[in-house]
């Protein structure tokens, strides 16, 4: 059976099939088992496909690892190739064979970027070897014998969908490594990264980068039009990101240390053209007490008990002079006055760094039900071919948007993402095809004077007002008379029901004394 298809249900069906094999293994543990095999399947078949092409070329050397490096394809030794593992799927030592395969791949000098990335604990006694064989059989059904681009897209889709599925299964913990696709797509659609450096200081499994690359390809650009930089504090998540980006064919400089971007900034000199980030919300133990005089706190020292304004200032510090940034934060960041946060927000607004604020609905995230918002920051509001909008901020209230995909989580569809992004683009454009205009209940452009009157609170609901009610053509006097009649009827009925209840209660005999 071949699973090579573009049907949207393909990834979901494959995930369900893989999840049925999980047994009693926790999703957080099973995730690494499955994603490691998906990665191994991808690099092995990408290698074998290109190996066959080189072998047929009399001027090429199919055994030269440098030939593969030039095409961004990893060299895979014979003992690590999928065909070898597929044939050994029912071997009692299959776990050790997978570990040996991962080890062999990392030892190849040309695969230096994979060193320390691949999971190598498949031989542990607690891992069911029958399950491993079943997974190898399942993934062997994915036909990747098309061209290299099709193969990458197919396994890239599988990897991304599996990340999403495991994030959903893990709930709060899942949100630590995965930002929902619709949130990432909204940010990317608003910022439109086309050329230059893209940075994420808390990159999780790399979703921001992948959607940025997808955006470029969808709009006729080339993947190498942007260069990708990131940092991640969780080593396990960093490994997921490195595998994810490799499967997608994205060359990126992703740094890891266990202290994080605040304490040990691995890219101190980077100034990015686009920054996209979904930092952990309201994090309290971020090391603020060690950074009170940091050069990044241009607008004020962030409180030790909440990192929200540390993230915003870290991002502004890394933003190029003409750069733009999109940051996901908890709603409280828009209005908090605690511990000097209001003063920092005021300084950022007066410095004209805030370009757009978007209020999001609740239940968009795996890790929290807290409603979130998007901060769109700009260093120079007249740059990049857009109109001069100094002293203006666009407010978008998207709290009523989205649809429930299950009992607990909401998602945006394509039209909703387009509505948010198009509104922002029309507002900032010099001569849009369709001029921007305020839409009560959804969007409003506010000047600095109005924001000052609201004490620098950036909650969109304060600016967009209530949505206009649709005019049904009925005069107000007629509506009022109808409502008054309805109220009289309801009050009369209420009095009748109250009298009936009193009379009914009066007929119920009362008892005294103990239990009968």
d(CA 226, CA 250): 10
Largest CA distance in the chain: 107
Q: Which has the minimum average pLDDT: 16-25, 74-83, 281-290, 349-358?
A: 16-25
pTM beyond 0.85: the answer is no
What mean pLDDT do residues 156-183 have? 67
pLDDT the model gives residue 5: 35
d(CA 427, CA 1): 51
What is the predicted pLDDT for the residue at 468?
58
pLDDT of 515 above 70 = no
Q: What is the pLDDT of residues 199-244, one digit of tens each?
A: 999 998 888 888 888 878 777 778 788 999 999 998 888 988 888 8
pLDDT at 54: 93
Task: Choose between 152 and 114: higher pLDDT.
Answer: 114
Residue 259 has pLDDT above 60, yes or no: yes
pLDDT score, position 513: 47
DSSP letter string, 336-363 = --GGGHHHHHHHHHHTT-EEEEEEPPSS
Mean of pLDDT values over 13-30 = 82
The token pair at 96 is 């050790």
CA 259: distance to chain centroid?
Answer: 22
Residue-level pLDDT at 42: 84
User: Which residues does residue 231 pair with via DSSP β-bridges, in sequence order?
Assistant: 255
pLDDT score, position 366: 62
* Residue 141 or 50, more confident: 50
Q: What pLDDT band is residue 349 in, cutting at 50, 70 and 90?
A: very high
CB 363 within 8 A of CB 339: no
- What are 117-166's pLDDT values in tens digits? 999 999 999 899 999 999 999 888 876 555 555 555 666 667 777 777 77
Q: How far apart are CA 99 and CA 106, in angstroms?
A: 11
Report the pLDDT value the prediction gives residue 25, as an integer from 0 to 100. Answer: 84
pLDDT exceeds 80 at position 177: no
Q: What confidence score (pLDDT) does residue 304 get?
A: 93
* SS3 at position 326: strand
Q: What is the mean pLDDT of residues 241-249?
A: 81
The residue whose two tokens read 């005999």 is 509
The CA angle 310-311-312, to the nearest 5 degrees, is: 95
Helix axis angle for 129-140 and 10-20, nearest 10°, is: 160
Who has greater pLDDT, 107 or 509?
A: 107
Total number of residues shown for the chain: 516
- Residue 180: pLDDT over 70: yes
Mean pLDDT, to the nearest integer, of 286-294? 92
Task: Check residue 365 and give its pLDDT.
Answer: 73
**pLDDT tens-digit readout, 443-500:** 999 999 999 999 999 999 999 987 754 444 455 565 566 677 778 778 888 888 888 8
Measured distance CA(28)–CA(17) in Å, rounded: 17
Q: Judge residue 102's burial from the number of C-beta atoms within 10 Å of its C-beta, 0-12 exposed, 13-18 middle, 19 or more buried.
A: buried
- The larger pLDDT score, comparing residue 168 to residue 442, is at 442
Quick one: pLDDT at residue 256? Answer: 92
In the chain, helix, strand, coil percent, each to 5?
45, 10, 40
Tokens (6 digits) for 434: 């369709």
Cα separation of 358 and 182, whole Å?
A: 14
Q: Judge whether residue 251 has pLDDT over 60.
A: yes
Residue 140, both tokens? 């062997």
What is the spatial distance between Cα 108 and Cα 85, in angstroms, rounded to a whole number? 19
Long-range contacts from 292-301, C-beta under 8 angstroms, 24+ separation: 299/344, 299/347, 299/348, 299/351, 300/340, 300/343, 300/344, 300/347, 301/340
pLDDT of residue 149: 54
Q: What is the distance, to the nearest Å, from the Cα of residue 162 to the centroid of all Cα atoms in its chain? A: 14
Of 234-248, 255-269, 498-512, give the range with the top mean pLDDT.
255-269
Task: Catalogue all structural domains in the chain, each as residue range(s) with its CATH number.
Answer: 9-170 (1.20.1260.30), 181-462 (3.40.50.150)
Distance separating alpha carbons of residues 331 and 329, to the nearest angstrom: 6
Tens-digit pLDDT profile for residues 367-412: 567 789 999 999 999 889 999 999 999 999 999 998 887 777 788 9
Confidence tier at 362 by pLDDT (50, 70, 90):
confident
> Which of 142-156, 250-264, 276-290, 325-339 has the weakest average pLDDT?
142-156
Please name the residues in contact with 195: beta carbons below 8 A apart, sequence gap of 6 or more. 221, 225, 226, 273
């Amino acid at each position: 059976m071949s699973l090579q298809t573009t049907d949207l249900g393909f990834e979901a069906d494959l995930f369900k099939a893989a999840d049925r094999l999980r047994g009693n293994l926790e999703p957080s543990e099973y995730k690494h088992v499955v994603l490691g095999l998906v990665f191994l399947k991808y690099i092995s078949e990408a290698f074998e496909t290109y190996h066959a092409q080189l072998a047929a070329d009399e001027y090429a050397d199919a055994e030269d690892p440098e030939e593969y490096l030039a095409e961004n394809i990893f060299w895979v030794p014979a003992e690590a190739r999928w065909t070898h593992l597929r044939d050994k799927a029912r071997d009692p030592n299959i776990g050790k064979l997978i570990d040996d395969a991962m080890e062999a791949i990392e030892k190849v000098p040309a695969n230096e970027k994979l060193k320390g990335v691949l999971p190598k604990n498949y031989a542990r006694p607690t891992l069911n070897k029958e399950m491993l064989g079943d997974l190898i059989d399942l993934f062997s059904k994915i036909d990747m014998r098309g061209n290299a681009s099709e193969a990458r897209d197919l396994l890239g889709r599988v990897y991304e969908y599996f990340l999403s599925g495991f994030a959903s299964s893990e709930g709060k913990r899942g949100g630590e490594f995965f930002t929902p696709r619709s949130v990432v797509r909204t940010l990317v659609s608003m910022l439109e990264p086309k050329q230059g450096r893209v940075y994420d200081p808390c990159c999780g499994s790399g979703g921001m980068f992948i959607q940025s690359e997808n955006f470029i390809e969808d709009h006729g650009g080339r993947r190498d039009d942007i260069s990708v930089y990131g940092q991640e504090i969780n080593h396990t998540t960093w490994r997921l990101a490195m595998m994810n980006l490799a499967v997608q064919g994205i060359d990126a400089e992703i740094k890891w240390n266990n202290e994080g971007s605040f304490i040990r900034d691995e890219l101190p000199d980077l100034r990015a053209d686009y920054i996209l980030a979904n930092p952990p919300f309201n994090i309290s133990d971020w090391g603020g007490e060690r950074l009170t005089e940091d050069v990044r706190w241009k607008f004020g020292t962030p409180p030790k008990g909440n990192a929200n304004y540390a993230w915003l200032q870290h991002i502004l510090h890394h933003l190029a002079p003409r750069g733009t940034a999109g940051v996901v934060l908890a709603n409280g960041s828009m209005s908090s006055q605690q511990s000097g946060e209001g003063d920092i927000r005021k300084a950022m607004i007066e410095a004209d760094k805030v370009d757009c604020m978007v209020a999001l609905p609740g239940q968009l995230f795996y890790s929290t039900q807290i409603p979130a918002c998007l901060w769109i920051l700009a260093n120079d509001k007249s740059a990049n071919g857009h109109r001069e909008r100094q002293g203006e901020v666009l407010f978008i209230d998207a709290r009523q948007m989205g649809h429930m995909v299950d009992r607990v989580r909401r998602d945006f569809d394509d039209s909703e993402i387009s509505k948010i992004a198009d509104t922002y683009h029309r507002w900032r454009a010099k001569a849009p095809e369709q001029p921007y205009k305020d839409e009560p209940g959804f969007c409003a452009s506010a000047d600095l004077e109005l924001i000052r009157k609201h004490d620098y609170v950036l909650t969109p609901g304060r600016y967009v007002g209530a949505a206009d009610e649709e005019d049904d053509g009925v005069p107000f006097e007629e509506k009022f008379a109808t409502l008054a009649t309805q109220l009289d009827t309801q009050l009369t009925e209420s009095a009748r029901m109250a009298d009936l209840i009193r009379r009914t209660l009066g007929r119920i005999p009362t008892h005294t004394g103990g239990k009968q």
